[in-house]
Amino acid sequence: MWDAMETAQPATGDTGAAPDVSRKIDYLALNREFTAGVMGPAVSALTPERDGPWRVLDAGTGTGGALPELIELARGSGGSVLAVDLDADAAEVAHTLTVTLDAGDLAEVRVADLREVVREARASGELFDVIWAADVVWPAAFGDPDAVVAKLAGVLAPGGVLGLFTANYYQSMFLPGHSRIERLIRTASELTWGIPSDGPAHYERLGAWMRQAGLEDVRLRVLPVAGPMTDPVVRGYVEQIVWPEMRHAVAARGRAAGMSDDDVARAGELLDPGSPTYAGRDPDGYAVAPMLLWTGVAGQPYLQAGGAARCRRCRRRAEHRKRVVIAPAARHGGSVTHPRLESSGPVIVVGAGIVGASITYHLARAGAAVTLVDAGQPGRGVTASSFAWIGASGVRTGPAAALRRTATAEYHRLERELPRAPRDLVRLAVLEPNRAGPRGRLRAGDHRRRPSRGARARPAAGAGVGGVGTR
């Protein structure tokens, strides 16, 4: 929760003190130790529904709480990691960690606002296959956490995964045996951070924000961290981080949270190491902290590519010379998550404009035998008159914005898949303000250029008459 240090408003009432964030690096290190055991399982849940190399973003890396696991994930796919944090000191520790892990070549640590990184990714079209944000997106750090989730979701490549991990601090047991006092202290702590205890910006709404951002297959996993106070890691985290934060919350906002004088005195006895009834003296003391991992997947707007496709539910690899994979039109178990549609025979596509050509290409890539037919010359219908632009600028919010983002991402995917595609057959312009380079700016006369009428399609294996290049 130390991520709030830049933005938390000083609380009013009681002493009026905001949380003490002067030991942020210690906190991050102890937190990393405490949660180390669940980072492997958490990160291994983040498998994009596309082949590597994977581009991984660690948004708000801190001192690199999950960097070792994220680096392994990227390394296994031949990909890379970009770790960003606002805090230069924390980023320095994370950078040292990448050197220790001998990952200097594939991991970059940058001091930056994650929203700036999102803006850059949108402008360049260099999307992420995995985005990890652990204890970063919550209302004390961002006034509009739902919008931040939407921004992160907007720079996921199709099939990419967003993982929002949260230590679920306020639902943990750090004072077992004293539940009423602990609940009151929780409320006091929320007040010190100035975070809402209700409503659409409540910190427990990560899953809702993901769904609102248009992510599919939004899921919750609970990864418990628990141990006795005799475990030095548990004791270190509880005594050095949790209880001091609780002591502060009682002093600063205890009464505002409804604590009586007796409650404040009792909390003092339990949390003061000098007290004879200090909770740390309890030989049977323990801590339970259920870590939450929310994951959501960016949709695959059209057809999944060949044998790499997997069903999100059953995880079965789609083996289909005869089957065709279409997403997300097919429904599975009531939600639009299952991309599989079976077809037992060859497919005929009528009309070789851009729509028929695209359908043919993707069907053939998915393994279908496709015949594309046209009454006249391929590409001579409306497609021949099109400016063939994808306007990525202008609309930044709402459904049209999401459509534009998807179209831009799809365009870049096609660019990668078809590096030698005839650009004059279907020439796409992605218009983004402030983007350097010929593709980023509309050049004088661009709107007057037309797809070449003489463009000839390459015949493709699996595609028939007038087939527009497929494989």
Ligand X SMILES: Cc1cc2nc3c(=O)[nH]c(=O)nc-3n(C[C@H](O)[C@H](O)[C@H](O)COP(=O)(O)OP(=O)(O)OC[C@H]3O[C@@H](n4cnc5c(N)ncnc54)[C@H](O)[C@@H]3O)c2cc1C
Ligand Y SMILES: C[S@@+](CC[C@H](N)C(=O)[O-])C[C@H]1O[C@@H](n2cnc3c(N)ncnc32)[C@H](O)[C@@H]1O
Selection from ligand X, ligand Y, none that 134 binds (CB < 5 to 8 A by kind) is ligand Y
How far is the first Cα of the chain from the last one, in angstroms, to the nearest whole number? 50
Which of 385, 396, 433, 471 forms a contact with ligand X (CB under 6 A)? 385
> Is the CB of 21 or the CB of 373 nearer to ligand X?
373
For ligand X, the nearest residue by Cβ is 353
* Distant-in-sequence contacts of 452-460, Cβ < 8 A, 24+ apart: 452/422, 452/424, 452/425, 453/377, 453/379, 453/380, 453/384, 455/379, 455/422, 455/424, 455/425, 457/352, 457/357, 457/378, 457/379, 457/425, 460/364
87 binds ligand Y (CB under 6 A): yes
Which residue's Cβ has the minimum distance to ligand Y?
65
Q: Interface with ligand X includes 351 (CB under 6 A)?
A: yes
Partnered with residue 390 across adjacent β-strands are 430
> What is the DSSP pairing of strand 128-134 with strand 156-166?
parallel
Residue 405: CB minimum distance to ligand Y, A: 20
Three-class DSSP category at 158: strand
* Residue 114, binding choice from ligand X, ligand Y, none, Cβ under 5 to 8 Å by partner class: ligand Y
- 136 in contact with ligand Y (CB under 6 A): yes
Give the nearer residue to ligand Y in terms of CB position, either 61 or 77: 61
Instruction: Select from 314, 350, 400, 403 the one that contacts ligand X (CB under 6 A).
Output: 350
Q: Which CB sits closer to ligand X, 88 or 375?
A: 375
Q: How far, in Å, are 91, 167, 340 from residue 153 at the CA level?
A: 23, 21, 24
- Sign of the Cα torsion 404, 406, 409, 415 reads negative
Residues 36/231, Cβ–Cβ less than 8 Å: no
Please tell me whether residue 360 binds ligand X under the rule CB under 6 A: no
Residue 15: name the closest of 139, 192, 176 by CA.
192
Near ligand X by CB under 6 A: residue from 222, 355, 403, 465? 355
Among 353, 367, 440, 451, binds ligand X (CB under 6 A): 353
Cα distance between residue 345 and residue 285, in whole Å? 66
Given the rule CB under 6 A, which of 55-63, 233-241, 300-308, 311-319 is the region that contacts ligand Y? 55-63
Give me the residues that bind ligand X (CB under 6 A), please: 350-356, 373-376, 380-383, 385-389
Give me the residues that bind ligand Y (CB under 6 A), please: 1-3, 28, 31-32, 60-62, 65, 84-87, 90, 113-115, 134-136, 141
